[in-house]
């Protein structure tokens, strides 16, 4: 869930530019980041042995991400400088990498549903990044290849299909997956053409629906 929230923080960073540093958006981002701080505190309180250094690394990475996410230069004018976007990318990726390392070998229930949320938040954050700055996106400052939205969307389609079959007899999980699918359908058709300049973009709708998905999945995974 920390990995999903890292992508959500990046999404919130770009929403500040899209909506002119709207106070409600900044407050929502601050609450998300504070939730991450509480999660880190819980990790540190539960850590034993080698987990102590891992929890400490999470804390440092989250602090760096939080500082950058709330500092979006020129957001009120609908812009951000290259350095800010680049650092937002690298701080998000740092948290995501730590989360994936911690996940390795985990037997936690519904981890696969959490991974679905991560996929959606990652795609949504890139959607907003390109809606805000068409020439930027995740490759900025990272050397990563541009995201292929059609392939990513197909991957989420496949994840949903697999999970619906896997949890067909689990009423609680099935209800959450039905909600996820409902929200996904609303934005799915806008994705394959995201890289086209004349494509109709719905960044705030995507932000709201992706956030709702993350919250519902968290209720299932970490009630």
- Choice among 13-27, 38-52, 118-132, 181-195 with the minimum mean pLDDT: 181-195
pLDDT at 223 over 70: no
Helices (H) and strands (E) in the chain, counts: 8, 0
Whether residue 153 is predicted with pLDDT greater than 80 in this model: the reply is yes
- The residue range of the domain holding 168 is 2-221
User: What are the DSSP calls for 127-168, one per residue?
Assistant: HHHHHH-TT-STTTTT-PPPP-HHHHHHHHHHHHHHHHHHTT
Residue 202: pLDDT band by 50, 70, 90 thresholds?
A: confident
Provide the number of structural domains found in the chain: 1
User: Mean pLDDT over all residues of the chain?
Assistant: 91
**Digit-coded pLDDT (tens) for 69-118:** 999 998 998 887 889 999 999 999 999 999 988 877 677 789 999 999 99
Quote the pLDDT of residue 150. 87
Instruction: Find out whether 13 and 72 touch, Cβ atoms under 8 Å.
Output: yes
Mean pLDDT of 110-133: 94
Q: What is the mean pLDDT of residues 14-30?
A: 96
Amino acid 198: pLDDT: 63
Distance CA 181, CA 78 (A): 32
| For residue 131, pLDDT beyond 70 | yes
- pLDDT of 212 higher than 90: yes
Lowest mean pLDDT: which of 38-52, 150-164, 208-222? 38-52
Alpha-carbon torsion (35, 156, 94, 141), positive or negative: negative
Q: What's the pLDDT at 171? A: 97
Question: Which structure tokens are listed for 125?
Answer: 């954050």
Could you read off the pLDDT of 27-58 as tens digits, one per residue?
999 999 999 999 999 989 998 888 899 899 99
pLDDT at 199 over 70: no
3-class state of residue 207 by DSSP: helix
The predicted-structure confidence for 171-191, as pLDDT tens digits, reads as follows: 999 999 999 999 999 888 877
- What is the DSSP secondary structure assignment for residue 59, as one 8-state letter? H
Q: Which pLDDT does position 192 carry in this prediction?
A: 61
Name the 3-class secondary structure at 170: coil
């Amino acid at each position: 869930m920390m990995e999903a929230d890292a992508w959500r923080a990046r999404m919130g960073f770009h929403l500040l530019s899209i909506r002119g540093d709207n106070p409600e958006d900044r407050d929502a981002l601050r609450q998300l980041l504070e939730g991450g701080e509480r999660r880190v505190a819980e990790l540190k309180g539960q850590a034993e042995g080698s987990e102590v250094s891992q929890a400490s690394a999470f804390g440092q990475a989250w602090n760096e991400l939080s500082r950058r996410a709330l500092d979006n230069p020129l957001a009120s004018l609908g812009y951000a400088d290259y350095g800010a976007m680049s650092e937002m990318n690298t701080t998000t990726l740092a948290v995501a990498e730590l989360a994936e390392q911690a996940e390795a070998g985990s037997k936690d229930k519904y981890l696969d549903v959490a991974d679905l949320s991560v996929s959606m938040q990652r795609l949504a954050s890139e959607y907003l990044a390109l809606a805000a700055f068409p020439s930027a996106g995740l490759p900025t400052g990272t050397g990563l290849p541009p995201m292929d939205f059609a392939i990513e969307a197909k991957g989420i389609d496949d994840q949903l299909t697999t999970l619906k079959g896997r949890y067909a007899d689990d009423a609680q999980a099935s209800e959450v997956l039905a909600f996820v699918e409902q929200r996904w359908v609303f934005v799915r058709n806008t994705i394959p053409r995201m890289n086209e300049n004349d494509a109709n973009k719905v960044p705030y709708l995507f932000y709201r629906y992706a956030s709702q998905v993350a919250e519902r999945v968290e209720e299932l995974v970490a009630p």
